[in-house]
Amino acid sequence: MRLFTCLLTVCLVASCAEDSKPITPSSPNGTVTLEDIDVPNQSTAMEGVLTAGQLSEEQMVALAGLGYQSFVSLREADEGGSGWEEDFAAEKGIHFVRLPIAGADGIDEAHARKLDELMAAEARPMVLYCGSSNRVGALLALRAFHVQGQGPAESLELGTSTGVTGLEGMLAEKLGL
């Protein structure tokens, strides 16, 4: 498995060197696609943003090889399976930012506004993820509603298309539906 990962990384880096402009969802030479990487709960419902569940080291490297420029985690560093990203990304030359959201308790207007500021500052295409993509979708919906002025139904639809599952009822309530 490590040999495969090393070979995949070398191939991705070599293909990106040939054509350095960011691309998504497939590599410049068409050999590796987003689907090949098997990112959990992925959605490309927003232009320039891949929403997802928790990434592995291999997935982060492969996505960077596809041209994703920013990686944003909404998980707290002490959540199981999280916390390794800062050191790993720095070692691999990958841009990583953490905006820790404490589960359902962190799904609010203030955090949606912080996410908006962060998204405006980060290069795209970007990967925005949490444990399952549930927090991602919920905060994107609140961002659409509170910051971008979208209606409640449209905001909820964005949330479900970008990962909301278990938080849908709470989100609908926060959107006044």
Range of the domain at 110: 2-174
Dist CA 63 CA 9 (whole Å): 10
Vertex 22 angle, CA 48 and 13, to 5°: 130
Dist CA 105 CA 68 (whole Å): 29
Give the model's confidence band at 142: pLDDT under 50 very low, under 70 low, under 90 confident, else very high: very high
Alpha-helical segments (H) within the chain = 2-18, 34-37, 57-65, 85-92, 109-121, 134-146, 152-161, 168-174
CA 103 to chain centre: 16
pLDDT at position 30 is: 57
pLDDT at position 53 is: 96
> Is the peptide bond prior to 40 cis by the omega test (within 30 degrees of 0)?
no
146-163 confidence digits (pLDDT tens): 999 999 999 999 999 999
2-47 confidence digits (pLDDT tens): 433 333 443 444 333 333 333 344 445 557 788 889 899 999 999 9
How many structural domains are present in the chain?
1
Q: Give the CATH number, domain containing residue 98.
A: 3.90.190.10
Dist CA 110 CA 5 (whole Å): 39
pLDDT at position 2 is: 40
